[in-house]
Amino acid sequence: MIDKIKEHIGEAQAFTTDNKDALEVFRIKFLGSKGLLKDLFAEFKNVPNDQKKEFGQVINLLKTTAEDKVKAIQDALESKEVSGGIYGDLTRPGEPLVIGSRHPISLVKNQIVDIFSNIGFNVSEGPEIEDDWHNFTALNLPEYHPARDMQDTFFIQTNPDVLLRTHTSSVQVRYMEGNKPPIRTISPGRVFRNEAVSSRSHCIFHQVEGLYIDQNVSFADLKQTLLYFTKEMFGKSKIRLRPSYFPFTEPSAEVDIYWGLKTETDYRITKGTGWLEIMGCGMVDPNVLKNCGIDADKYNGFAFGMGIERIAMLLYQIGDIRMFYENDVRFLEQFKSSI
């Protein structure tokens, strides 16, 4: 009888499975209410007295072996289930990575920067919270100048001389203060104006402004630079410059491109004229150069500026500027890119 029990011990030690049903069959066979151990404990009273000690020891060993084996396999199976729940089936083929979406404003800004980088313009950046000097006074907009009304401003309550910049021209002022001519830079960035939010305007938007300062710079240089930009950006080779007014440039102009009248959309966005305004520009006012410590008798230059949202709305035919700021995934997914 003892030898038979030892055979059962060996069987229990050798048992292995990764199936719950097979484990349950094993448990019932050894530990169930009608299992081997139940019968063996019942047989204990019939064992001779001189064998009872050894008989009891091997029965207890069989019980311990069977219980340990059941617990070990149960723990292994539960661990496997938890691992599978976290990582899934590790033998499955890998899924392709989902390509993210660049924001259309970032796409257009990068394209503009690349175009002007090809003709020697570097990129300059500055703070979004500015002081009155860099945002207004240095740009030929002294206090109480009527042109300040053109740019409704967010002022910092605790300090009326501190404000959210209304244009990235303030970056150009800082650049001129810290660098000597020749200067050729563009300044992309976010700006703020206290304007009513609608489908065509917003209180937060983005600009790219350009500046070129050197000796003997002419209006013709400005025109050729802008013509190069419009060809590269829009594929349009016909532009016109209309007289305009900006306090920091003289003479000043608005730049239009001939968009055409091929589709109904062309008629709508150009109001039936075929011409579309895209930016403002002009020759830098000598007072601005003097305010920035540049000799206006020796140097001159031109500046230009455009709204990135306006360019993006043209390129992607977006009808509402508010869509740029609503973080609608359905809108952003239209601009998936591998770049």
Q: Three-state SS across 11-58? A: HHHHCCCCCHHHHHHHHHHHHCCCCHHHHHHHHHHHCCHHHHHHHHHH
In a shared domain, residues 40 and 178:
no
The mean-pLDDT minimum among 55-59, 119-123, 213-217 falls in 55-59
In a shared domain, residues 67 and 148:
no
Please give the radius of gyration of the chain, using alpha carbons only, rounded to the nearest integer: 40
Residue 295 falls inside a structural domain:
yes
Give percent of the chain above pLDDT 90. Answer: 42
pLDDT at 304 over 80: yes
In a shared domain, residues 239 and 264:
yes
Q: Who wins on pLDDT, 192 or 31?
A: 192
Dump pLDDT digits (tens) for 70-105.
Answer: 888 888 888 776 555 556 666 777 777 777 778 899
In a shared domain, residues 112 and 80:
no
Mean pLDDT of the chain: 85
Domain that holds residue 284: 104-335
- The answer to whether 12 and 30 are in contact (CB under 8 A) is yes
Look at the block and give the residue holding tokens 């230009």: 304
Count of domains forming the chain: 2
Give the pLDDT of residue 253: 96
Q: For residue 11, say whether it is annotated as part of any ligand binding site.
A: no
The mean-pLDDT minimum among 13-22, 139-148, 196-205, 316-325 falls in 139-148
Dump pLDDT digits (tens) for 228-239.
Answer: 999 999 988 899
In a shared domain, residues 68 and 114:
no
Dump pLDDT digits (tens) for 6-24.
Answer: 777 787 788 888 888 888 8
Closest by alpha carbon to 185, among 177, 175, 174? Answer: 175
In a shared domain, residues 151 and 195:
yes
In a shared domain, residues 210 and 183:
yes
In a shared domain, residues 158 and 269:
yes
Give the pLDDT of residue 338: 42
CATH assignment at residue 150: 3.30.930.10
**Of 55, 87, 119, which marks where a domain is finished?**
87
